[in-house]
Structure 1
Amino acid sequence: MRFAVICLLLFPAFLTAAQPVETIISLSPHTTEMAYAAGLGDKLIAASDYSDYPQAAKSLERVANYRGIKMERIVALQPDLILAWKGGNPTREMTRLEQLGFKVFYSNPKSLEEIASTLEQLGQFADSPKQAQHSAQDFRQRLDKLRLAHQGKHPVSFFYQLSSSPMITVAGDNWPSQVFAVCGGTNIFANSAAAYPQISTEQVIVRQPEVIFGTSHAAGDHSIWEQWRQQLPAVEKQHLFTLTSDWLNRPTPRTIMAAEEICQYLDRVRQSRL
């Protein structure tokens, strides 16, 4: 009798866990990209602005942007699962969606390893976890190869210009610092108190970086540094490189491409020392 009662009590939980995920909404570009990599692309019915990879994502309805999320539309679509950026999507609205009974999967990888593990976690919602497992395995193998190839190489000091007006960079272990560290890059602003400090050209000059990185979406024009050619070794030796913004700033499987790109540039700098 006791066993029967326990089964009845647990049955709703089993039923909920077994319910298939057929429709998904993604509320950030990186979760959209992760969903496709994990084999969930055919289940996506809406996404955020700037969800532009892969090509199929461009045709999804838009239900979120930098100003917030479209609560009424999301509720009307009744998704089985919502993919959210923890810390990036508004807390109040996300809490409200959870209170309304929506299942939310939060993603905010803070390390390269977490990109692979997040893919595997997302795989549980796919019809088969194989694609997610394959994506995670490929990511780990390429990452291990890079780390092995750059193990013991001399560090290279760099400045990463995240934006130009105002001039902002990254500090500490905040994303995407981890990507530069794979190849032995040493951030000249690593010890700044703020996660993404606003800095001046004078502060960059004092720290004498060997490399200056910008991105294709922000600070891609390095002409701002030309007037400091005599004061900055990075400018004097033309170690000014433009990185692919989406590869670098979004924590997704394509981040490994950013790491490979950075490693090539840092190796070029090391070669110039000889």
Structure 2
Amino acid sequence: MTFIVTRVYAQEAQATDSKPQRIISLAPHTTELAYAAGLGSKLIAASDYSDYPPQALALERVANYRGIKLERILALKPDLVLAWQGGNPPREMAKLEQLGIRIFYSHPTTLEAIADSLETLGTFADDPTTANQAASDFRQTMAQLNQQYGHQKPVRYFYQLGISPLMSMSGDHWPSQIFALCGGENIFADSPVAYPQVSKEQVIVRRPEAIFTTHGSAGPDANAFNIWLPWREQLSAVRDQHLYQTQADWLNRPTPRALLAAQDICKQLDEVRKNHP
């Protein structure tokens, strides 16, 4: 449904030849997508944590985890708002729509959808060349990774999402798609909950060959995997030091930088294969 909505708006823009000139982004990933699609010069405001590319840091902030600054957004008179489907408050978004503000709802749930988003955003640009090239490059890199790693021996992994409580992800939710591209096999793929709370015992019983987590801009956390040290003999991932940290924004945001995470993860899973032929 998300992409039906956005494509209607794109067709509308093409039909009227009315390209937006004042764009507001309400999520970090839509800010990244906008810049990648060649819309950066039209952005006038963004959400907190919109920190990539660096020029996004200069944009006024009109949204955060608590909601959006509705009055300020209206005062800025945008002719297009980029919103996170499911992440921005629906009541306020409905008010913006009622006031006639065009909204692009974004919620890529697959890697291919990132390329689709770039192309759709390109229809709002004065020249779609940048967006189309970015989408093409993304698909090409994704295909190369799939060809090189996608058919290799599966590697069982655990994605450590938080420690207190200890959480992970199911097989259908982001960023499991990135691991799947590299031949990773999620030990909690069958979870009925998108981001389940799990126990250490559940992880040990499922015997992951690799454990992954993320790190922030300060770099890897030397203590990220300390909770597993007492089970070194039970977990080959710990015993063989197959413990990996990936830059959080690369892995967690559905943007072109997701393939930077994929490139790292593919190499790391291949390292596990070589140690366990």
Which TM-score band (shorter chain)? over 0.9
Residue 8 of structure 2: aligned partner: none
RMSD: 1.7
Partner letter of residue 107 of structure 1?
Answer: S
Write the mapping of 1:190-269 to structure 2, written as runs, cut at 5 A. Answer: 190-217=189-216, 220=221, 221-269=224-272
Residue by residue over 1:195-251, the C-alpha shift from the partner in whole angstroms, topping out at 9 and shown as x without a partner, is 100111111111110000010039941122112111211101110000111011000
Q: Please report how far the alpha carbon of residue 113 of structure 1 lies from its aligned counterpart in structure 2 after TM superposition.
A: 0.4
Call closer, same or farther: CA 1:231–1:219 in 2, change over 3 Å: farther
Residue by residue over 1:100-131, the C-alpha shift from the partner in whole angstroms, topping out at 9 and shown as x without a partner, is 11000011001100000100000011110000
Residue 111 of structure 2: aligned partner: 112
The yes-or-no answer on 1:76 pairing with 2:79 is: no
Q: Does structure 2 retain, via aligned residues, the 8 Å contact 1:162–1:219?
A: no
Q: 1:219 and 1:235 mapped to 2: Cα distance?
A: 17
Structure 1's unaligned 5+ residue stretches are 1-12
Residue 7 of structure 2: aligned partner: none
Call closer, same or farther: CA 1:25–1:14 in 2, change over 3 Å: closer
Q: Does structure 2 retain, via aligned residues, the 8 Å contact 1:169–1:198?
A: yes
Partner letter of residue 224 of structure 1?
Answer: I
Q: Please report how far the alpha carbon of residue 254 of structure 1 lies from its aligned counterpart in structure 2 after TM superposition.
A: 0.5
Structure 2's unaligned 5+ residue stretches are 1-11
Larger radius of gyration, structure 1 or 2? 1
Q: 1:260 and 1:89 mapped to 2: Cα distance?
A: 30
Residue 26 of structure 2: aligned partner: 27
Q: Does structure 1 retain, via aligned residues, the 8 Å contact 2:165–2:197?
A: yes
Q: 1:31 and 1:151 mapped to 2: Cα distance?
A: 28
Write the mapping of 1:55-94 to structure 2, written as runs, cut at 5 A. Answer: 55-94=54-93
Give 3-state SS (helix, strand or coil) of 2:123's partner.
helix
**TM-score, normalized by length of structure 1?**
0.92
Call closer, same or farther: CA 1:14–1:167 in 2, change over 3 Å: closer
Q: Please report how far the alpha carbon of residue 172 of structure 1 lies from its aligned counterpart in structure 2 after TM superposition.
A: 2.3
Q: Does structure 1 retain, via aligned residues, the 8 Å contact 2:14–2:123?
A: no
Q: Please report how far the alpha carbon of residue 147 of structure 1 lies from its aligned counterpart in structure 2 after TM superposition.
A: 0.5
Q: Please report how far the alpha carbon of residue 16 of structure 1 lies from its aligned counterpart in structure 2 after TM superposition.
A: 8.3
Give 3-state SS (helix, strand or coil) of 1:189's partner.
coil
Q: 2:195 and 2:220 mapped to 1: Cα distance?
A: 15
Q: 2:108 and 2:59 mapped to 1: Cα distance?
A: 24
Give 3-state SS (helix, strand or coil) of 1:125's partner.
coil
Q: 1:135 and 1:109 mapped to 2: Cα distance?
A: 16
Partner letter of residue 242 of structure 1?
Answer: Q
Q: 1:16 and 1:240 mapped to 2: Cα distance?
A: 52
Identity fraction in percent: 59
Residue by residue over 1:47-92, the C-alpha shift from the partner in whole angstroms, topping out at 9 and shown as x without a partner, is 0000000000011000000000000000100101000000111111
Residue 148 of structure 1: aligned partner: 147
Of 40-49 and 157-166, the range deviating more from structure 2: 157-166
Q: 2:98 and 2:89 mapped to 1: Cα distance?
A: 14
Q: 1:269 and 1:101 mapped to 2: Cα distance?
A: 53
| Structure 1 residue ranges (4+ consecutive) displaced by more than 2 angstroms after TM superposition | 13-20, 217-220
